[in-house]
Structure 1
């Protein structure tokens, strides 16, 4: 499983000739100089509807004629904006696709988008368990620390986890460190930090704390990859 980081919480995951992108916030991201037109994937998967996660979803889905996989209200919204195909799921639900499996987990956050002068509610936020080639990525989405992360770790063999560390809107580094221990991931990638001033954090310091706990982690710069 190859994972490439595209800033904020966006990951491109590929294995066995299949590629999916999670939370493709590219346009308008000050960290990123990537044209959404250059993204080639088999699916777009979303954790929730905030603009810094929903991002370029519809353009990428249209360019690739691929599905948007999301919580049902968010999937319906993407369809209304021109996504060619959507798969609306819900918390706890799983589906096997061609070459990968998606299961949505709990996340404690909110989910909405500003559409003109309207704030549109887009269902529950979620985490993602993505299994490809026999390996599983847990993308926690935007979330606070919550006790059932222990259960997620007990019920799943998590090879790699993407955990938010930005604080202010999500877990901070201290809570993310505890989450990493609970989920027992083989590898941890910090996400959702340093994009905007309120979420500035030291990713290297977080990974150093992981190592003190006997855990492995990687700080990925935009465009960098790790093979799990």
Structure 2
């Protein structure tokens, strides 16, 4: 069984052949999510970059589940100092974990983590992540601006079944750029808009995105799963 579920902002859970994981588990402080930290049961936590609204509740979830955190190497190094089991990877790298395969690819953004004392920790390069679950490829684009090598990523990695693409603008691509990135560059079978409406600066109408696309778009409410073709 392969199941991929959206939980608000950029939070995506997945399950494949008994392996459970979550991308960017920003739960505490995320008014859009349907999750509770204590209820999250995962084997792996995948982080696209170090910003607090993506690292989120990683430390608590990892400790609750004895989960492995897979993240850009600098971010993984910081989280290891917090007592977590981590695997640091870098852009271009691919590695299998049980029945899943994780590949880190380029994104254009920034990446740092601010701790409770206000100290800022460099988080390495921001990334997107291509997750292979059996015969399905999931592309979490992460927080990124549009860039032409999204097309190269598509060419080198084969058809993407589902892409999670930010549309919020201000910090990432807005709707117009996300339309071009989806239809002309990434060209997934299905796109799911993410990273919008969590905070006032990123308020957007996902229907405007959907109506302008050639690609099939599934606008998911928190807790809804992707429907695969």
TM-score after normalising by structure 2: 0.95
Is 1:188 aligned with 2:191? yes
Alpha-carbon separation, structure 2, partners of 1:209 and 1:2: 27
Partner residue, 1:177:
179
Shift of 1:33: 4.2
**Unaligned 5+ runs, structure 2:** none
Partner residue, 1:127:
128
Q: Deviations over 1:146-199 (max 9, x none)?
A: 010010111222111000000000000111111112111000000000000000
Partner residue, 1:205:
208
Q: Which of these residues, 150, 168, 171, is aligned with residue 170 of structure 2? A: 168
Shift of 1:205: 1.8
Alpha-carbon separation, structure 2, partners of 1:6 and 1:38: 13
Alpha-carbon separation, structure 1, partners of 2:135 and 2:46: 19
Shift of 1:82: 2.4
The 10-residue stretch of structure 1 (2-11 or 100-109) with the greater mean CA deviation from structure 2: 2-11
Would you say the 8 A contact 2:27–2:36 is kept in 1? yes
Shift of 1:117: 2.5
Alpha-carbon separation, structure 2, partners of 1:94 and 1:207: 31
TM-score after normalising by structure 1: 0.96
Q: Deviations over 1:188-219 (max 9, x none)?
A: 00000000000000112211212xx2x10111
Partner residue, 1:95:
95
What value does the CA root-mean-square deviation take over the aligned residues? 1.0
Would you say the 8 A contact 2:129–2:141 is kept in 1? yes
Is 1:224 aligned with 2:199? no
Q: Secondary structure at the match of 1:14?
A: strand
Q: Secondary structure at the match of 2:80?
A: helix
Instruction: Map 1:7-46 to 2 at 5 A.
Output: 7-46=8-47
Question: Where do 4+ consecutive residues of structure 1 move more than 6 Å?
Answer: none
Alpha-carbon separation, structure 1, partners of 2:199 and 2:168: 9
Q: How many residues align?
A: 224
Alpha-carbon separation, structure 1, partners of 2:118 and 2:47: 23
Partner residue, 1:58:
59
The 10-residue stretch of structure 1 (94-103 or 117-126) with the greater mean CA deviation from structure 2: 117-126
Q: Secondary structure at the match of 1:109?
A: coil
